[in-house]
Amino acid sequence: MKNKLIILSADAMVTEDLDLLSTLPGYRKYLQNSSMVRKVKSIYPTVTFPCHVTMMTGTYPNKHEVTSNFPFVMNESSMPWNWYADINKSKDIFTACKEKGLTTATVFWPVTCNHKDIDYMIPEFNKPMSVEGLVEAFAEVGCDEDMLAIIRKNIGYLKKFKHPYTDEFIIRCACDILRQKQPDVLLIHPGNIDASRHAHGVFNKKVDEEIKSTDRFIQMLMDVQEELGLAEKTNFVLTSDHGQMDIQRIINPNVMLADYGFLDVDENGRIVDWRAYCHSDGCSGQIYLKNPQDENVKHRVFQLLRWMQKEGIYGIGEVFTTEEMNEKYHLSGEFSFVIESDGYTSFGASAQAPLVQSFCDMDYRYGRASHGYMPEKGPQPIFVVKGPDFVESVVVENAELVDEAPTYAEILGVDLPDADGKPIMELIRK
């Protein structure tokens, strides 16, 4: 029998957090004799859903085709996210395990709604704002009766459908899945650290408190495996998808596109027609053209973006064509250009003045800290491993997010032939 694998992706946890983790009882136990990668290079854009698809496929966005948290939609009010598994075009670890007869489970792992190859699934999805109707909603995105029973059991932890209540629900459901189903592979994605950093900034006491709250998570997972007599047969991975950087302002590039005639906006700020549009990913933006073959519009939009960059006051640090972005960061799509933040700016989606808007907690793009920028910037995500298939007390200096899924495939004996990354062999016990 293959050893078990439990992966906890603590959204937006970074290497700098390890000093605090080492003082907490659960993490201290976990970190003892563990091995790690000191610097993990994420993907572009450094946002949650593309990152997590890379973490389960080992491919870059130009291959798996999840290039944003959101689909390209205008006039957003309640923005849908890329919840559903069929948007991913690459083979993932769940399908690879299914082919080899291994069972998999997920709790709030992104881009897994209605995934046909996950055995025990409670996916992250467009959650209702209250617990009313929650069970029915989970049923619609692929949860079977056993998972719905676990949801009903733990629904009381959702006093509010927001962090940290959601995260308590996640870890309780995960522990119940372990006890009842004993899957070969379990992937979990709590988001309270990410939410706190967006709300308060990257490093501060409030973020530290959220990090401390996750100490119970790792302890609970280890305790369950000990209860089941599986502790010595379980590999644990503590990882994350991206870091964050503090932001000084929110700028709406679509206001400029409207001012220069590329967007038609009514008196209510609603877009009624368009030639070009900026789809925000926080600290980067993808510029779509209604008619990419219109060379005149394409040239004019490019010139405007370059002018905004050179002016130095519109938050744009760099401008790339799709071809340049694909070559440099393996990012491609139906957009024509990509704009990168100056390091102090997050991009909003509004096409109605003002150009600069205030911070708010409506979504990650408008917080006091954000991400979506180039993967080499800012604090880096973590990757710490422990268990029978991993060596002890080894530090690897550098690896990439695309290397994580191939590493899992290596220890599980499953195949990801299209992966761009490679197994991190220095961490694997020979």
**Predicted pLDDT of residue 127:** 67
* pLDDT single digits (tens) 68-118: 999 998 877 667 899 999 999 999 999 999 999 999 999 999 999 999 999
pLDDT of amino acid 257: 98
Q: How far apart are CA 32 and CA 297, in angstroms?
A: 58
* pLDDT at residue 80 in the model: 82
Mean pLDDT over 9-25 rounds to: 97
- Around Cβ 341, how many Cβ atoms within 10 Å? 26
Domains of the chain listed by start with CATH number = 4-245+377-427 (3.40.720.10), 248-358 (3.30.1360)
**Would you state the pLDDT for residue 75?**
79
Predicted local distance difference test score (pLDDT) of residue 125: 86
Task: Please give the helix or strand (H or E) that residue 338 lies within, else none.
Answer: strand 337-341
Residue 266 pLDDT > 90, yes or no? yes
pLDDT in tens, 204-235: 999 999 999 999 999 999 999 999 999 999 99
Residues 6 or more apart from 147 whose CB is under 8 A from it? 120, 121, 122, 138, 177
Q: Is residue 422 within 8 Å of residue 403, measured between CB atoms?
A: yes
Give 339-360 pLDDT, tens digit per residue: 999 999 999 999 988 999 888 7
Prediction pTM value: 0.96
Give which of 122, 113, 116, 178 is closest to 147, Cα–Cα: 122
Residue 203 corresponds to which tokens in the numbers above? 């490093």
What is the residue whose two structure tokens read 């948290």? 69
Contact between 308 and 302 (Cβ < 8 Å): no
The rounded distance, in Å, linking the Cα atoms of 397 and 379 is 15
Sheet holding 249-251, edge to edge: 345-347, 249-251, 356-357
Angle of CA points 23, 26, 27, to nearest 5°: 55
Q: 247 with 268: CB under 8 angstroms?
A: no
Share of the chain above pLDDT 70, in %: 97
**CA 244 to CA 197: how far, in whole Å?**
7
The phi and psi torsions of 18 (rounded to 5 degrees) equal: -60, -30
| β-strands 395-400, 35-41 pairing | parallel
Band (pLDDT 50/70/90 cuts) for residue 134 is: confident
Residue 361 has pLDDT above 80, yes or no: no
The structure tokens listed for 60 are 């870059």
CA distances from 62 to 278, 298, 322, 373, 423 (A): 19, 22, 11, 17, 20
Which pLDDT score, from 0 to 100, does residue 128 have? 64
Q: What is the pLDDT of residue 409?
A: 98
Residue 166's H or E segment, with its range, is helix 165-181
Q: Token pair of 68, please? A: 């944003």
How do residues 250-261 score in pLDDT, each as one tens digit?
999 999 999 999
Task: For 281-327, write each residue's pLDDT tens digit.
Answer: 999 999 999 999 999 999 999 999 999 999 999 999 999 999 999 99
